[in-house]
Amino acid sequence: ELQFTSAIEVFMSYYPHVKKAIGASEKIFEYVDRKPQVPADGSLAPETLEGHLQFKNVTFTYPKRPETAVLKGFSLELKPGEITALVGPSGGGKSTCVSLLERFYEPQEGEILLDGNPLHSYQNQYLHRKIAVVSQEPVLFARSVKENIKYGREDATDEEIFRAAEMANAHKFIIDLPNGYSTDAGEKGGQVSGGQKQRIAIARALIGHPKILVLDDATSSLDTESEHLVHQALLKSSSRCAILLIAHRLSTVEKANHIIFLQGGEVLEEGSHAELLKKGGAYAQLVQKQNTAFQRNTEEGADREAA
């Protein structure tokens, strides 16, 4: 039974969408519906991959909701060594981009290219290794921290595990855990915080030497210190791969090389943080709104303390 349980946990950790869906049964059927759509395996598995990813004029409609296009002529370019952030209002299509990257669906129009070749021409397993997705709430299974990281590549040496953890800003906290790398990371143990979990998941992703790292950023649940450490980890990792940051909160985005504001499935504006602020458009307004909300919260806090 133990083995069965951990097999499910491992499965879940690689399919965060399924985990999200557990609460809502109709979503499970959505997932089941997805399966036959993933096209046959391609044959490409080149030894060297640059990791240059492009969405070119992608239009996508969920089969269940044929009346609304969720992405409309969407284009994006990820370059090795750069962090690209997707921001924008809820429902804008950010997570859908990740689902397409994971090949849960195929776009109806346009194409997704990796080093110039259509994504579907690669072997699925190869893509799985080269495109690592760290979900909002990564699942760690009830094994040691070390085994959790090693799951990203079974033949990794200890040295490689430590290096990946270092890169993910996780090494320091891991060695301070009661049993260091041997500490049980199982959720029930509750030994690691949300931000620590995310950093272990980043280490697990990095150990497989991905060329593209997708981070669904859930920093709303992290404290400022944890958030900072996750961001530092991303900055470090970007020397090795292209990073796509799905940002639900703006503080994460400032350091990105390129920011894409996605609304209603279309790119409303794009550029660097400074460029977009200067432009004074939707992104600038969002930043302002968030700063105001932050100020109000701080003031309310101060008022409460004064009372």
> By the criterion CB under 6 A, which residues form the site for ligand ATP?
30, 62, 64-65, 70, 90-96, 248
Closer to ligand ATP by Cβ: residue 65 or 304: 65
Tell me the sheet residues that pair with 266: 263
Minimum Å gap between C-beta 232 and ligand ATP is 24
Q: Left if phi > 0, otherwise alpha if psi is -120 to 50, otherwise beta: which for 271?
A: left
If we measure between CA atoms, which residue out of 232, 223, 227, 201 comes closest to residue 135?
201
Minimum Å gap between C-beta 90 and ligand ATP is 3
**Which H or E element spans position 11?**
helix 2-14
Q: Which residue has the tokens 């190869």?
A: 126
Closer to ligand ATP by Cβ: residue 156 or 213: 213
Closer to ligand ATP by Cβ: residue 136 or 169: 136
Among positive and negative, which fits the CA dihedral 196, 155, 216, 162? positive
Minimum Å gap between C-beta 247 and ligand ATP is 9
Minimum Å gap between C-beta 155 and ligand ATP is 35
CA 279 remoteness from chain centre: 28
SS3 92: coil
Burial readout 240-250 (b: 16 or more C-beta within 10 A, e: otherwise): bbbbbbbbbeb
Minimum Å gap between C-beta 105 and ligand ATP is 9
Closer to ligand ATP by Cβ: residue 16 or 92: 92
Is 73 in contact with 262 (CB distance < 8 Å)? no
Closer to ligand ATP by Cβ: residue 43 or 90: 90
